[in-house]
Amino acid sequence: MVEKISYLEIKLNSPHKDVVVIKGNENECDPVLFEGQVKLSLNSNIHFRKIKLSLIGEASIVYFSRNQQGEIQDQIVEKLVTLKVDWDNLLVNEQGSIVLGAYGDKPVKSYKVKKLHSAREGGSSGTSTPTGKPGFFRTNSTPHFDEFDQSSIKLPVSGVDGTPFKNHPSHHSFLLPKGNYTLPFSVVLPTNVSETVEGLSVGKMLYHLQCTVQKGIFDKPLVKSRYLRIFRTLHPTNLSLVDNSEINSTWPGKVEYMVCVHKKGLAMGSKVPIKIKMVPLAKGLKLKRVVCEIVQHHHVSSMVESSPEFENIIGTQQIYGKLTDDQLSSDCWEFSCNYRVPSRLQELTQTCTLNHELIQVRHRLRIVIHIQNPDGRTSELRANLPVTIYISSNIGHVYGNHAEVDPVTGVVNLSKNIDDPVFKRDRKCAMSSVNTPLMSPIGSPEEDEEGGSEEDELSNMDPPPPLYEQSKFDKIYDISSPKSPSEQLGMSQMSGGYFDLSSSAIHTRVQSSIDLNVLSKVPSYNEAVEEDDDGSRYPMSPSYDPSIPFTQHSMLSGSNSSLSASLISSHGSLSNLNMNQSRDFSVHQRTRSSFKLNLPKKNTTSRDSR
């Protein structure tokens, strides 16, 4: 069977490949539509029992419990499943059934998940097992080949884009001819679905898809798994994108200080401007250096108890140290500096709270200011600002661990030594940076500008619709007029063609530098397959059946007939046209929504259209 299946892959309908981005918390976001396709390529005709798909979200909790004296008592190790969606057979039904993870469901230990069954097919679920007796099919000792032929469903063509045996019983044996198949799947996930957490040592939340192809009872199934991530980003109306985080205080006898970050929401991998203003209250004080870092607080919860609070110091950077004493006034120290938020998920975890507080992560930005006293001693001033770390697909560059799923056990293995770009634009930048002499060195100003700042967040989101005042003076043309649109609008406006370039555009294009190494680079097979967009997210055109007569194929839909009617009005009538001066065509408009072309025989006079 493995040799007859040349290609088996799972793909998501997401602009970020294997990443599902949810905007806002469970009260702000829209219903989460999770959909994709299972692509299958067969070298020969094969009988299948079913093609099953499962979406599994599993949380791993590992920590040491301590007593009141701080001594280690025991190690807590738990594997809990928070979400499980099953597609029983993609050959029959593309809608998934939520077995575990609906509203109100509690996490279940991984070894108990196999006992769970959905309450009804295609509906939401519970954790209880149906009480009805399972259905059995009665068999006879002597086979009846006529009945066997009826239980085997065949396809008339090779290769199908869609559910091939929709609404058929799932106990049939399905014959798929040689060809390529695209089996869609979809489900609406609850808005409180937990997001991916993969950087904490005490707790992780990982998702993966697992497709199982079953041929026969005694044949070994073919299993294909794919790791995916679910992230929550801040909603565009979230106040953390607008409100600043500021602290004003006084160190008696030392300084009065003000530290301000223009936004509470900090995107991973972005550049954050920080404004600092200090007024020394004693003579002889000097500003030595300023260090910025992120303090991460997190804890996890098991089925029994909660872990203690953990604290990590992440991304320590010296953001001040280049200014001289001449650039700072003796009365007031005021300057601005930038802090680069870490971009690796292994190092920094986004601010989040999972369902039932399985994992909770909080952050604050700590600015440490070192002041040199007149006697040579160094005083340290710490300012802590509460912030929200989030993941954005518009700004910053986010890198996650390279993950592989064991097809047998379904365990996700994360590689700490290999980082993969999370979003599609970062993967393109990573591929174009190989053997590219035009790329700036690490730490250059060009790289800082490329990373983007928080101020570009709103500009990179979906653009608003155009204003009415900007388009109310646009010229329009009449469809019922016999003149063409170009004649109505005037040929003067058509003097400049679509492909005509202005002199400034040509001058800019000539001055732009072109890297031939990047243009001539041929992607590998895996890169070409991963970046392939077959347009499966858009509706497909109807299939053509050669058995239907020509007169039935000439019947057009309402949208096509309205377009054809406008063409008839702009050209007069089709009866006035003479094709090759040998035969005439006449149009009989039956209804408003469709019309039919009558082809007269030779030596026959055409009739006027009625």
Q: Kindly report, residue by residue over 97-138, the tens digit of the pLDDT.
A: 999 988 888 999 888 887 775 444 444 444 433 333 444 444
* H or E stretch at 36: strand 32-42
C-alpha distances out from residue 4 to 180, 525, 526, Å: 12, 20, 21
Q: What distance in Å separates the CA atoms of residue 85 and residue 53, rounded to the nearest whole number?
A: 8
Q: How far apart are CA 400 and CA 421, in angstroms?
A: 6
Measure the CA–CA gap between 557 and 65, rounded to whole angstroms: 69
Residues of the chain with CATH 2.60.40.640: 5-129+147-233, 239-390
424 with 369: CB under 8 angstroms?
A: no
Dump pLDDT digits (tens) for 496-515: 454 454 544 444 444 444 55
Is residue 6 pLDDT above 90, yes or no?
Answer: no
Rg (CA), the chain: 33
pLDDT at 445 over 50: no
Q: Summarize pLDDT for 248-281 with one digit per residue, the tens.
A: 999 998 999 999 998 999 999 999 999 999 999 9
pLDDT band at 520 (very low <50, low <70, confident <90, very high): low
Q: Residue 397 and residue 376: Cα distance in Å, rounded?
A: 42
Q: Domain 5-129+147-233 adopts which CATH fold?
A: Immunoglobulin-like (2.60.40)
Instruction: Convert 297-327 to b/e letters by CB count within 10 Å (16 or more is b).
Output: ebbbbbeeeebeebeeebbeeebbeeeeeee
Q: Express as a percent the part of the chain with pLDDT over 70.
A: 60
Q: What does the pLDDT read at residue 575? A: 39
**Displacement of CA 532 from its chain's centroid (Å):** 15
Helices (runs of H) and strands (runs of E) counted in the chain: 9, 30
Three-class DSSP category at 112? helix
Q: List the CATH code of the domain at 239-390.
A: 2.60.40.640
Least confident of 31-35, 249-253, 285-289, 485-489: 485-489
pLDDT at 313 (0 to 100): 96
